[in-house]
Amino acid sequence: MDASVDRGEDGLRTPAGYMFDVDGTLVLGDRSGHGYEVLPGAKQVLETLKARGIPFVLLTNGSAYPAAVQAPRLREVGLPVEDWQMLTPSSVTADYLARKGVRSALILGTPGVGHALAETGVELKFTGQPGADEVDAVYVGWHPDCGMKDIETACHAIWNGAGLYIASSVPFFASHGGKAIGYSHAIYAAIRSLTDNKRGIITGKPSQHALKFVARTLGVPLKSVGVVGDDPTLEPAMARKGGAIGFGVTTGIYKQADWLAQPPANRPDRLLTCVGDLLELGVIG
């Protein structure tokens, strides 16, 4: 047992900071991404963390809107989330590309998808613009209006040497109306099939790029990050691979029976009925 890590009475490590999934964990949104229903305990947990000075961030796999748009919407429904605490795959991508010295990127997505990249100085290109297939990187995000011209441009950019980055390869996410399709996953599948199954770099959950970015943002070691989410293939899998502390909730697509049927690599350290159960576990210092 690691004596340097605080543990509760049952041996569960106490996180020094938390990362929360959004859809299915803290809220349920409608399919348009504009309306939110706050899930049980979400407001109380975030308020408690804020009052006790324990750092937390939210990481969604949705890439349609930048933090400056998403965070205010969550505040409107009562969640105490500052703009800097709202992270997206584009936040991770911007950080990763900056570290790699990438200067230009073709964006397959809405303008909001590339917002974080532009803030770090990456030149954004969109389909139809001159030089769109002569970029350093192709970044695939939320693009409900994606057409064959977009996919063709991306393929030409990749054939010309561009790297491929994807916000999310998750086929579905939780919404108020049930399963909603992950657009970036569908677009990625098309590009891979046309470029000899070229693998891209996933920047959203469950990538370790995302977990490391979260840890740096929180200012805590990887092993001290509490990762809370509703999808066993995402948050718990990411936590387990990175040595973080995983918590699963049954308020999303996956119910208790689904969680119990998961392989060891996708199992959380604790399964909760809802995020509010964190207040009863004794893991919020």
Widest pairwise Cα distance in the chain: 61
Q: Which range has the worst mean pLDDT, 5-14, 62-71, 144-153, 182-191?
A: 5-14
The beta-strand segments (E) located in the chain are 17-20, 27-29, 36-38, 56-59, 86-87, 104-108, 123-125, 137-140, 163-166, 172-175, 178-181, 201-202, 225-229, 245-249, 270-272
The DSSP-derived string for 182-203 is: -HHHHHHHHHHHHTTT---EE-
Percent of the chain with pLDDT over 90: 81
Do 65 and 33 contact (CB within 8 A), yes or no? yes
User: Domain 17-61+205-281 carries which CATH code?
Assistant: 3.40.50.1000
Quick one: pLDDT band at residue 174, thresholds 50, 70, 90?
low
| HEC secondary structure over 200-265 | CEECCCCCHHHHHHHHHHHCCCHHHEEEEECCCCCHHHHHHHHCCEEEEECCCCCCHHHHHCCCHH
Quick one: pLDDT band at residue 9, thresholds 50, 70, 90?
very low
Q: What is the mean pLDDT of residues 236-259?
A: 95
Do 261 and 271 contact (CB within 8 A), yes or no? no
Q: Provide CB contacts within 8 A for 180, sequence distance 6+.
A: 31, 172, 173, 174
pLDDT digits (tens, 9 = 90+) for 60-92: 998 989 999 999 999 999 999 999 999 999 999
Where exactly does CATH 3.40.50.1000 map onto the chain? Answer: 17-61+205-281, 90-202
Burial of 152 (0-12, 13-18, 19+ CB in 10 A): middle
What is the structure's pLDDT at 198?
Answer: 78
CATH 3.40.50.1000 fits 90-202, yes or no: yes
Do 236 and 227 contact (CB within 8 A), yes or no? yes
What is the structure's pLDDT at 62?
Answer: 87
pLDDT digits (tens, 9 = 90+) for 15-48: 999 999 999 999 997 655 557 899 999 999 999 9
Q: What is the mean pLDDT of residues 277-283?
A: 91
Residue 110 has a CB neighbour count (10 Å cut-off) of: 18
Task: Please state the pTM of the whole predicted model.
Answer: 0.89
- Distance between CA atoms of residues 164 and 178, nearest Å: 30
Do 183 and 143 contact (CB within 8 A), yes or no? yes
pLDDT digits (tens, 9 = 90+) for 148-170: 999 999 999 999 999 999 999 88
- The mean pLDDT of the chain is 91
Q: Are strands 123-125 and 86-87 parallel, antiparallel or unpaired?
A: unpaired
pLDDT at 3 exceeding the cut of 50: no
- Distance between CA atoms of residues 160 and 39, nearest Å: 46
What is the structure's pLDDT at 8?
Answer: 47
Q: What is the mean pLDDT of residues 238-248?
A: 97
